[in-house]
Amino acid sequence: MSFRTFEDKQPPGQASSGFEFFKGVGQVAGGTLLSITMLASSIVAGGLVGLAVSFRNLPDVRQLRNFFPSETTYIYDVKGKLLTSIHGEANREVVPLDRISPELKRAVLASEDSDFYYHHGINPKGVGRAVLTNWTAGGVKEGGSTITMQLVKNLFLSQKREFTRKIAEAVLAIRLEQILSKNQILEMYLNQVYWGHNNYGVQTAARTYFDKSVENLTLAESAMMAGLIQAPEQYSPFVNKAKAKEQQRIVLDRMLALNWITQPEYDNALKQEIKYGKKVRSFQGSALPYVTNAVAQELARKFGREALLKGGMRVQTTIDTNFQQMAEETVKRWHERLLGEGLSKNQIALVAIDPRTHFVKALVGGVDAKTSEFNRATQALRQPGSSFKPFVYYTAFASGKFSPDSTIYDTPVGYRDGSGWYYPKNYDGSFGGPMSIRYAISQSRNIPVIKVGKTVGMNKVVETCRTLGITSPMEPVTSLPLGAVGVTPLEMASAYATFANYGWQSPATIIARVTDSTGNILLDNTPKPQLVLDPWASAAILDVMRSVINEGTGKHAAIDRPAAGKTGTTSSEKDIWFVGTVPQLTTAVWVGRDDNRTLAHGATGGILVAPVWRDFMMKALKNVPVENFKSPNQFPRPKG
């Protein structure tokens, strides 16, 4: 929190009209009483300054010049709609003093410290009254604390009521008033004080109790809020409206006695019907849990968990709420449909990315975030099956030695692999003889892709995957082209998006921009694409993947516009996929079980997942113009 320059003696809610704000203070104090008060203040202050020598171990209040209170982090969708707030113990949004309602400042001062602008950290009248009360009671019953004393207590000292602590409060208050202006102290206090229901600071309290910004509070609302400070949970209108109303009247009585409000203002405030917030806001859930959890994890990696919980960041995601909700509804509907087709306990993950920016447009980590927060879109490493094959064929195209029409032999073969031999088989157990790469990928033949992988080198395939942003552990084994590796749906969608952008890539992200609470930019993910793949090879792999949808295993993904994609089915039908793209949107859909067991005999990506992809894309691309892919002939072919 950075302090602003204030007129030191400027009362709250006024411009530069001096002490006109405190109407009637002269009548309350009187010239003689003011002289006595100033004399008593000097005597008490002098005594406490002397005692300060005995408090050498007290905190150094000078550090408050650079004090940054913990603040709540807010996460928004791409259009500015609030998705959730993240905080540790303190739910707080810091606001400058000039954005706090003048009515609230008056109400708090009347209730807590009406002489705030006249004392030097301690108030002799309040101290005298507290001493008499405590002496009579035989213990600490009344504090006599000024706002400055309350502030140093909240920031530095134990909450236990002891005489020694009260003296320490007074010493620190005097010290604090020597280095900060009155307005700086008041601003810090109003943003620091606890208002109940885990709300710290006036802004979060105003939003919780009255569903409005603190700058718009009325006199009636302000008096009720000021009345909460002494016992927030006890006087909360969410707990006891009668007590909250009584506290409001007490504060208004005090303001009227001080002549800070008129009788009509008093009467109108008591009569005003207050509209309360619908519910306590602190620790409420997220509107889009899979999205906000992924955002929180990325923020924690970049800035640390402490900054996430206390840094007061303002995070704009790449997600449109309506689009995300459409994706989640699609997943839920297909979950039920697949249950009806015998896929018990199925889970579905979906990730959609704009290939032109690599901004994540939808991220669904499972069927229901309320029953399971595990994000299968970003955290589940599952085998991609044949949807991995485009990475092998791209590597072959980029080598300059292969093209979509190159002939590969689908014939029996064996490879020494580790301590034994590996004999790859096709899904149907047959052999097709000579065929083009285009035909081999459209029919998802296994033996041709392994032969191509062995020819170009499995290490080269691994390099391609790393370039595409796949970071999961990967070994250059013979079975790698068949997807013998764990990947996430996010990694698959991002990789295919790079193909769809003809080799241009920005890091895939769900975060567009992050600022601190004052607007300073902490992270700007404006796309800065780099050419990481060969454009001809990228266009060529898109071209052959169009055949998958037009005449191959992905026929059920046809969407009446140019689209490229690949089915994926692992051995034992544990993971089934469809990953596909149009020029404007790339989407990966995975279906499997959390216990990694077989979904159902004969379950394939082409039969069961391609329709899910098609359903989502038809909705996602509604009103989006049809766009053709670029031909490989538009790019220079690499030399072999």
Residues with catalytic function: 112, 386
Beta bridge partners of 579: 566, 588
Q: How far apart are CA 154 and CA 146, in angstroms?
A: 12
Q: By 3-state DSSP, what share of the chain in percent is helix, strand and coil, each rounded to 5?
A: 45, 15, 40
Task: Please report which helix (H) or strand (E) contains residue 423, including its range.
Answer: none
Burial of 632 (0-12, 13-18, 19+ CB in 10 A): buried
Q: Is 218 helix (H, G, I), strand (E, B) or coil?
A: coil
Q: How far apart are CA 195 and CA 197, in angstroms?
A: 7
Beta bridge partners of 592: 347, 575
Residue 27 CB: number of other CB atoms within 10 A?
Answer: 9
φ, ψ at 338 (rounded to 5°): -70, -30
Contact between 95 and 214 (Cβ < 8 Å): yes
Q: How far apart are CA 305 and CA 454, in angstroms?
A: 44
CA–CA–CA angle 386, 389, 393 (5° rounding): 160
CB crowding 454-486: b at 16 or more within 10 Å, else e:
eebebebbbebbebbbbeeebeebbbbbbbbbe
* Beta strands across the sheet bearing 347-354: 359-364, 347-354, 585-592, 575-582, 564-569
Residue 625 CB: number of other CB atoms within 10 A?
Answer: 7
Q: Which residue has the tokens 């002289």?
A: 35
Contacts of 14 (CB under 8 A, 6+ apart): 20, 21, 102
Q: Of 150, 117, 167, which is closest to residue 9 (Cα–Cα)?
A: 117
Q: Which residue has the tokens 């050419």?
A: 531
Q: How far apart are CA 490 and CA 501, in angstroms?
A: 16
CA 378 to chain centre: 15
Length of the chain: 640
Q: Is 1 helix (H, G, I), strand (E, B) or coil?
A: coil
Q: Of 562, 609, 604, 574, which is closest to residue 589 (Cα–Cα)?
A: 609
Query: Looking at this protein, which amino acid is placed at residue 628?
Result: N
